[in-house]
Chain A
Amino acid sequence: MSSAYKLPETKIATDVQQSPQLHHAAASVVMRATGLMKSYRKGKVEIPVLNGVDFEVREGEFQAIVGTSGSGKSTLLHLLATLDQPDDGQIFFEGNRIDNLPAKSRDILRNRYIGIVFQFYHLLPELSALENVLMPLMIRYGFTKYMLRRRKNRQRAKELLDKMGLSHRLKHRPRELSGGEMQRVAIARALIADPQLLLADEPTGNLDRQAGDELMEIFRDLNREQGLTVVMVTHDETIAEQADRTIHLVEGRVQTM
């Protein structure tokens, strides 16, 4: 399974390295997309959502994608997360094209290299917080393999939840947690596989001010202290201000400011 997607030895594509307008010229590009097009069909009418979006995020960068509702920012994130495929354009992850990979390879990519956090948390209601965090590892390993490293995995999940300040909530079901707590469980779940890239789709969208601030604190810590690359979609300019770099999406295009 792991052979289906292999990280390349040399991660940096030369043309990206020479690009002049980037802040961290020395850092390698984690993900890059060019000319992304995507439209949805509603009956007979075709609604264009993305009209040629170029995108790039470098290692250790905290990038915000800001746009109004309907600007296509969530669609862009889904494309980047390989949950959906673009009609046109290309997406590269660490130099390898990923948008045209077979489903199996994209599954592995999401499972191991890209962590995703959603606005509505998307935890599995039948599982406890700890089990939700462990889910990516359960998906990765078969029954016997998982059982062999069960203790190690649980230790790791507990550490992550502890970091999120949820060590007292391990056995709780999602419906017994507050919104902020659920989102922190979701972050722990995204981190358990040690991803190269964390994608967040309006993570604070459903939270009050205080919980939102706490959550942003966590994202910043992850970015600064652990050097995790974060791409966050939001409509909130104040949140976007906390990012290293912000791109604006207007009507399916990147607006240069």
Chain B
Amino acid sequence: MYKVLLSWRYLKSRYIALASIVSVTLGVATLIVVNSVMAGFTVEMHDRLHGVLSDIIVRSHNLNGLPDSEWHMEEIRKVAGDDIEAMTATVSVPAMINFRDNIRGQWITQPINLIGIAATTYSDVCEFEQHLLHPLNREQFQFILRENDYGRGRKDKFPVAGWARRRVAAQWEQREIADQVENGDVTANDAALLTPPPFDLADDSQTLAGLPALPDSIEELPELQGPLDNGPRAAGQQDSLPAVPFQTDDAPLLTFDATREQHTGIVLGISICSLRGRDVQGDLMDYYFALPGDDVKITLPNTGQPPKAVSDSFTIVDFYESEMSEYDSSFAFVPLSKLQNLRGMITAETGVASVSAIQIKLRAGADLDIVRDRLQARFPLQQFGYQIQTWRDMQGPLLSAVQLETTILNILLFLIIAVAGFGILATFFMIVVEKTRDVGILKSLGASSRGVMSIFLGYGLSLGIAGSLAGLALGLLFVDQINVVAGWIEKITGQEVFDPTVYYFSEIPVVVNPLTCLWVVLGAVGIAVIASVLPARKAAKLHPVEALRYE
């Protein structure tokens, strides 16, 4: 009984000990914050990565692909049919994109990773649709240009795009050329070769007399008058297909009317044709070189020996925004059959097309590694030369880097708590010296050495618990308010704590793992108790007579 009472009284009367426990509190708080943020990053990254990648990908090492995707899918089904939820074939090829900066008029060329996908099935194997900007595409993706309404629900404001933009821009170009022909600057024959100055929807000064000024918001967008033969389209019809949706190879259109027609659709990673940065005021802004509705040219190698470059025009139908900068800045999606056609991957006689990869989604709960191993057994490397990977394998270095970082940080921070332990040790030694006479008194009243020892152990334990719980509360509060705190620090120091242009997260992601918190608290309490063992033993070993004489 006296142990409890005395531990409690010492706790209440020795504030120096509370000072020593502050380091434990801070250590615990830091550990919890760091672990939560790292877990937040990891979870967010897992989600993003897994969203972008399918569970398992069977990929040909050859750019010309693996022949006969049907047969391969059949074989894969035979091997792991029970675990497979969906499968789709893709063609992936490095390519060049070429488009006009819609403000400065320069031609921009960039390397991209062109991926041919089946619009209907690609979203079954990974989160593709979710990352698109148009609400209808998010529900059911098609390679067609939508009327407008891109980026609805997006945090940042998205400019007017889609048919609304394409029509106005195309009309402006037609007018510009017509004007030049009228002025005698060019002949009508040369007009087709002309590239007029770029049209910027955002710039009012460029608005033509015949065209209404473009409003800021999509709702106010006026219906177009004038050169359009079929007149304005009725509301509600907005997202239906235009009269001639695709230009096909079989029947190339001699006169392409950009106000009414689109090329084959392409979905671009948002960073390919946009830059995120800060304006003069320092506010975060996106600058778009091209928008859905604009045309781009793609150059890619065909399957010839040696490969030759082939080019075609595409119309941007949507942007792909996974918020993984690596993918957003390189991925471009086009229809699978179109890409196979362009590259010549279809055998003329049989009509069998090659693909470069088969992406597989497994049903929930299936073991990725087991399925991968089975597929590897079915398609031995020596025979087929296929690379079979799970999404974790593909992002292994990144994930393990984050894991390593977390581990090292944990070790370092636990060392901080261990340092705090030495602080407790020193403080406790002082307290024991100060309490020497009390120890003598207790022993003279019949307290055992073990009893005396447990007073100080209990003291250390209660200090550890108090410090850890305070640290836990502080840490959780900090985690809860981390973005607010980051805001304050930004204001005070003027330095950006969490730069969205770098991380593509608008906020610091946090995930609090209760088990981690428990371990941290237990560890800290353990260190406090261990640090109090030596002083407690010293107290227990005191000789009662000498202790009583102590002044």
B447: contacting residue among A84, A116, A131, A139, CB under 8 A: A139
How far apart are B448's CB and chain A's nearest CB, in angstroms?
5
Chain A residue contacts of B445, Cβ below 8 A: 110-111, 116, 135-136, 139, 189
- By a CB distance below 8 angstroms, the chain A residues around B443 are 83, 107
Q: How far is the CA of A112 from the CA of B445 in the complex (A)?
A: 9
The answer to whether A122 and B437 have CB atoms under 8 Å apart is: yes
- Nearest Cβ distance between residue A125 and chain B, in whole angstroms? 8
Q: Which of A104, A126, A127, A131 has the most CB of B within 10 A?
A: A126
Q: Which residue on B lies nearest to A142, using beta carbons?
A: B1
Whole-angstrom distance between the Cβ of A176 and the nearest chain B Cβ: 15
Whether A122 and B448, one on each chain, are in contact in the complex, defined by CB atoms closer than 8 angstroms, is no
Whether the Cβ atoms of B1 and A136 lie closer than 8 Å is no
Contact A124 B446 (CB under 8 A): no
In whole Å, how far is B442's beta carbon from the nearest beta carbon of chain A? Answer: 7
CB pair A138 B548 closer than 8 Å? no
Is A104's CB under 8 angstroms from B448's CB?
A: yes
- Name which residue of chain B comes closest to A118, CB basis: B548
Residues of A within 8 A of B324 (CB): none
Please provide the chain A residues from 88 to 144 with a CB less than 8 Å away from any CB of chain B in the complex.
103-104, 107-112, 116, 118, 122-127, 131, 135-136, 138-143
A146 at the interface (CB under 8 A from B): yes
B440 → chain A, closest Cβ, in Å? 7
A123 / chain B contacts, CB cutoff of 8 Å: 441
How long is the Cα–Cα vector from A136 to B1 in the complex, in angstroms?
A: 10
A126 to B447, CA, bound (A): 17
Contacts of A125 in B (CB 8 A): 438
- Give residues of chain B (1-52) contacting chain A, Cβ–Cβ below 8 Å: 1-2, 4-6, 9-10, 12-13
A54 to B4, CA, bound (A): 42
The residues of B that contact A143 with a CB separation of less than 8 Å are: 1, 4
Q: Does A78 contact B (CB under 8 A)?
A: yes
- Report yes or no: B9 in contact with A83, Cβ–Cβ below 8 A: no
Complex interface: chain A residues within 8 A of B325 (CB): none
Residues of B in contact, count (CB < 8 Å): 26
Asked if A110 and B446 sit within 8 Å, CB to CB, the answer is yes
Nearest-CB residue, chain B, relative to A190: B445
Is A81 an interface position by the 8 A CB rule?
A: yes
B526 within 8 A of A: no
- Could you tell me if B9 and A84 are in contact, using CB atoms closer than 8 angstroms? no
Chain B, range 370-399, C-beta contacts under 8 Å to A: none
Contacts of A131 in B (CB 8 A): 5
- Report the count of interface residues on A (CB-CB < 8 A): 33
Contacts of A138 in B (CB 8 A): 1-2, 5
Q: Is B180 in contact with chain A by the CB < 8 A criterion?
A: no
Distance A84 CA – B543 CA, assembled complex (angstroms): 8
Contacts of A118 in B (CB 8 A): 444, 548
Residues of A within 8 A of B6 (CB): 124, 126-127
Across the interface, do A146 and B441 meet the contact criterion of CB distance under 8 Å? no
- Complex Cα gap A108–B9 (Å): 25
Q: Is B111 an interface residue (CB 8 A)?
A: no
Per-residue A-contact encoding for B436-473, CB less than 8 Å = 1, 0 else: 01101111111111010000000000000000000000
Q: Assess whether A84 is in contact with B545, with CB atoms less than 8 Å apart.
A: yes
- A175 CB to nearest B CB, Å: 12
Q: Which residues of A contact B4 (CB under 8 A)?
A: 143
A104: chain B residues within 8 A (beta carbon): 448
A254–B404 CA distance with the chains assembled, in angstroms: 77
Give the most central of B5, B10, B438, B451: most A CB within 10 Å: B5
Does B67 count as interface, using CB distance less than 8 angstroms? no
Contact B449 A103 (CB under 8 A): yes
Contact A141 B5 (CB under 8 A): no
B544 at the interface (CB under 8 A from A): yes
B437, B440, B548 interface centre (most CB from chain A within 10 Å): B548
A110 cross-chain contacts in B, Cβ below 8 A:
444-446
Q: Who on chain B is nearest to A131 by CB?
A: B5
Residues of B close to A103: CB separation below 8 A: 448-449
Residue of B nearest to A106 (CB): B446
Tell me which of A107, A122, A142 contacts B440 (CB under 8 A): A122
Residues of B within 8 A of A109 (CB): 446
Tell me the bound Cα distance from A145 to B2 in angstroms: 12
The distance in angstroms between the C-alpha atoms of A122 and B437, with both chains bound, is 8
B544–A84 touching, CB < 8 Å: yes
Query: Distance (Å) between the CB of B431 and the closest chain A CB?
Result: 12
Q: How far is the CA of A118 from the CA of B550 in the complex (A)?
A: 14
With a cutoff of 8 Å between Cβ atoms, the chain A residues found around residue B12 in the complex are: 126
Nearest CB of chain A from residue B85's CB, rounded to whole Å? 59
List residues of chain B with CB within 8 A of the CB of A124: 6, 438, 441-442
Query: Contacts A111-B445, A139-B445 known; A127 to B5 CB distance under 8 Å?
Result: yes
Q: Is the CB of B10 within 8 A of A111?
A: no
Q: Which residue of A lies closest to B445 (CB)?
A: A136
Interface contact B13-A78, CB-CB below 8 Å: no
Residues of chain B within 8 A (CB-CB) of A147 are 1
The residue that B1 contacts in the complex, of A126, A146, A189, with Cβ under 8 A, is A146
Shortest CB distance B19–A (Å): 19
Complex formed: what's the CA distance from A108 to B445 in Å? 9
Q: Do residues B545 and A126 form an inter-chain contact, with CB atoms below 8 A?
A: no
B544 nearest CB neighbor, chain A only:
A83
Instruction: Tell me which residues across on chain A come within 8 A of B449, comparing CB atoms.
Output: 103
- List the B side residues contacting A127 at CB < 8 Å: 5-6, 9
Q: Would A139 and B442 count as touching, CB distance under 8 A?
A: yes
Shortest A161–chain B CB gap in Å is 17
Return A165 CB to nearest CB of chain B, in Å.
Answer: 23
How far does the alpha carbon of A118 sit from the alpha carbon of B444 in the complex, in Å?
Answer: 10
Task: List 20 additional contacts besides A110-B444, A122-B437, A124-B6; criterion CB under 8 Å.
Answer: A78-B545, A84-B543, A103-B448, A107-B447, A109-B446, A112-B446, A116-B444, A122-B444, A124-B438, A126-B6, A126-B10, A127-B5, A127-B9, A138-B1, A139-B2, A139-B442, A139-B446, A139-B451, A146-B1, A147-B1
Show the binding face of B for A, using Cβ within 8 Å. 1-2, 4-6, 9-10, 12-13, 437-438, 440-449, 451, 543-545, 548
Which 7 residue pairs across A and B have the least CB separation, nearest first?
A111-B446, A138-B2, A146-B1, A126-B9, A138-B1, A110-B446, A122-B441
Q: Can you show 19 pairs from A to B with CB atoms below 8 A apart?
A: A83-B444, A104-B448, A107-B446, A111-B445, A116-B444, A116-B445, A122-B548, A123-B441, A124-B442, A126-B6, A126-B13, A127-B9, A136-B446, A139-B442, A139-B445, A139-B446, A139-B447, A139-B451, A143-B4
